[in-house]
């Protein structure tokens, strides 16, 4: 008999929770959230689970992408549009050049909370509490700014709602129409090899559409050419927030966390007996778990048992984040153990978090070639184990930032100072993201 309830996580050790200074104000904020409308509908989360079941069967590929941390400050239509645009472009490349349907899942409309390795950090010689994402505190490096503020939970909800509203408008209202493939590319096309390569793909798609029209096919009737399904996800870190948005689906009677379509636990919160895994174990959404180089096969199989007891395809996505150097050694035993356990998981590769280092100027960065190398090592490991390399999970932005090194523009260490705007981890910029899509498409074709 299950003892799970939306609040049963409270009886378990919960890592990475903020120390809210005023419990009364926290309760008020959570109470307010529990009376607000859900952000997503249970039926949508169930559709994503079915789409991920296709990935688990090796019939589709998952592209999960977006900011490391969304920001209250950098919030506007252009930023949302440009992020969506680069994800749609990557999906076109993977679908066309890689030859597989792509499940498009944003780290967006709720990706605000950050787990930290240390509760404090030193900024300019002063030790201050760590920044935990705009849903908790402010990134300004002062002790005052870092005090957790429960009003931020409500603000994160409202920003997620507006973001999701615009995403729905763009993806269902014409912006994502396949006839727009060229329009998405305007600023990259002349100025980068990836942009020119993309323009060639877009030309071919346009030719194929013209051909179908000439054959008498009424493309206007083909809904899939004019709309895309775009799903949302974030790390389920602040459990009070997730609990407040968890609602019982009146149709199925199942509980869904209606803050996003998919929720995941991070490398720091995936303890099988911990509060985060307890929470995810009872919601019917598709769920994910990050798996780093320290994970043992036994741990991962135990996690599969907790999060996917019914062995349901599409329910669980394991996201490998080993680092380019370790992946060839650390991933294969996990792939074999999970395959032997019979859990039909999706395996995806996060090539970002195992490849972060601090550059000479003190900026956290990642190198494009390390990102590609980890994905390549992931594909090799999956293929040797007879497992479908099911997807990639990347941190990116549509903006022209200089946060990661390399790529076709050859961003160097001196360039990091130019446009480094992330509030947390370094992201691939639009061009690097498109370059990456072509490299992944090559791996898929091989």
**Binding positions for ligand PEP, rule: CB under 6 A:** 68, 115, 266-268, 290, 321, 353, 425
Q: Which is nearer to Co ion, 409 or 425 (CB)?
A: 425
Interaction partner, residue 370 (Co ion, ligand PEP, none; CB < 5-8 Å by kind): none
Give the residue nearest to ligand PEP (CB). Answer: 266
Taking the C-alpha atoms of residue 48 and residue 113, their distance in angstroms, rounded to an integer, is: 23
Q: Which is nearer to Co ion, 114 or 146 (CB)?
A: 114
Interaction partner, residue 321 (Co ion, ligand PEP, none; CB < 5-8 Å by kind): ligand PEP
* Residues within the interface to Co ion (CB under 5 A): 68, 425
CB of 308 to Co ion, least distance (A): 24
Q: Which is nearer to ligand PEP, 68 or 258 (CB)?
A: 68
Helix (H) or strand (E) holding 318: strand 316-320
- Per-residue burial over 117-128, b if 16 or more Cβ lie within 10 Å, else e, is eeeeeeeeeeeb
CB of 349 to Co ion, least distance (A): 14
Q: Which is nearer to ligand PEP, 69 or 176 (CB)?
A: 69
Interaction partner, residue 196 (ligand PEP, Co ion, none; CB < 5-8 Å by kind): none
CB of 262 to ligand PEP, least distance (A): 13
Cα-to-chain-centroid distance, residue 352:
11
Interaction partner, residue 290 (Co ion, ligand PEP, none; CB < 5-8 Å by kind): ligand PEP
CB of 364 to ligand PEP, least distance (A): 12
Q: Which is nearer to Co ion, 211 or 357 (CB)?
A: 357
CB of 267 to ligand PEP, least distance (A): 4
CB of 366 to Co ion, least distance (A): 10
CB of 27 to ligand PEP, least distance (A): 27
User: Which tokens go with 121?
Assistant: 């950090």
Cα distances (angstroms) measured from residue 338 to each of 81, 211, 274, 332: 38, 45, 21, 10
Interaction partner, residue 10 (ligand PEP, Co ion, none; CB < 5-8 Å by kind): none
Q: Which is nearer to Co ion, 201 or 424 (CB)?
A: 424
Interaction partner, residue 266 (Co ion, ligand PEP, none; CB < 5-8 Å by kind): ligand PEP
Interaction partner, residue 267 (Co ion, ligand PEP, none; CB < 5-8 Å by kind): ligand PEP
Q: Which is nearer to ligand PEP, 290 or 431 (CB)?
A: 290
Q: Which is nearer to Co ion, 425 or 435 (CB)?
A: 425
Find, among 343, 270, 333, 322, the residue nearest to 298 by Cα. Answer: 333
Taking the C-alpha atoms of residue 256 and residue 233, their distance in angstroms, rounded to an integer, is: 13
Question: For the chain, what is the total number of helices (H) and then of strands (E)?
Answer: 13, 14
Q: What is the DSSP string of 384-413?
A: HHT--EEEEEEEB-SS----SBBTTTTB-G
Indicate the Cα dihedral angle 331, 337, 340, 341, nearest 10°: -120
Q: Which residues pair with 378 in a beta bridge?
A: none
CB of 98 to Co ion, least distance (A): 25
Segment 296-300 long-range contacts (CB within 8 Å, at least 24 positions apart): 297/333, 297/334, 297/336, 297/337, 297/338, 298/337, 299/272, 300/334, 300/337, 300/338
């Amino acid at each position: 008999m299950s003892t799970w309830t939306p609040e049963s996580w409270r009886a378990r050790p919960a890592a990475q929770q903020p120390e809210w200074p005023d419990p009364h104000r926290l309760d008020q904020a959570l109470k307010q959230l529990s009376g607000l409308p859900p952000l997503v509908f249970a039926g949508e989360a169930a559709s994503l689970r079915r789409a991920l079941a296709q990935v688990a069967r090796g019939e589709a590929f998952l592209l999960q992408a977006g900011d490391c941390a969304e920001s209250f400050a950098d919030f506007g239509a252009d930023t949302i549009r440009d992020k969506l645009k680069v994800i749609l472009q990557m999906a076109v490349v993977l679908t066309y050049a890689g030859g597989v349907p792509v499940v498009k899942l944003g780290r967006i409309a709720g990706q605000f909370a950050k787990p930290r390795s240390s509760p404090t950090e030193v900024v300019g010689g002063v030790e201050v509490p760590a920044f935990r994402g705009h849903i908790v505190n402010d990134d300004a490096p002062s002790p005052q700014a870092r005090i957790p503020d429960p009003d931020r939970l409500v603000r994160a909800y409202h920003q997620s709602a507006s973001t999701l509203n615009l995403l729905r408008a763009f993806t269902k209202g014409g912006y994502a129409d396949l006839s727009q493939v060229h329009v998405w590319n305007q600023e990259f096309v002349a100025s980068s090899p990836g942009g020119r390569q993309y323009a060639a793909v877009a030309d071919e798609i346009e030719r194929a559409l013209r051909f179908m029209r000439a054959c008498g096919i009424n493309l206007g009737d083909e809904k899939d050419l004019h709309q895309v399904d775009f799903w949302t996800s974030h790390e389920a870190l602040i459990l009070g927030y997730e609990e407040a948005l968890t609602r019982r689906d009146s149709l199925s009677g199942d509980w869904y966390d209606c803050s996003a379509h998919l929720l995941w636990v991070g490398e720091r919160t995936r303890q099988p007996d911990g509060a985060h895994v307890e929470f995810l174990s009872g919601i019917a959404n598709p769920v994910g778990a990050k798996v780093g180089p320290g994970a043992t096969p036994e741990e991962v199989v135990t996690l599969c048992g907790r999060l996917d007891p019914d062995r349901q395809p599409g329910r669980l996505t394991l996201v490998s984040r080993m680092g380019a150097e370790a992946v060839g050694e650390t991933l294969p035993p996990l792939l074999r153990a999970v395959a032997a356990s019979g859990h039909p998981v999706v395996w995806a590769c996060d090539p970002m978090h195992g490849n972060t280092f601090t550059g000479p100027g003190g900026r956290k960065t990642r190198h494009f070639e390390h990102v590609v190398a980890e994905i390549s090592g992931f594909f090799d490991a999956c293929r040797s184990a007879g497992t479908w390399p099911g997807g990639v999970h990347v941190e990116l932005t549509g903006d022209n930032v200089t946060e990661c090194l390399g790529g076709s523009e050859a961003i160097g260490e001196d360039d990091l100072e130019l446009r480094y705007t992330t509030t947390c981890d370094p992201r691939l910029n639009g061009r690097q993201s498109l370059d990456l899509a072509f490299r992944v498409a090559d791996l898929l074709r091989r």
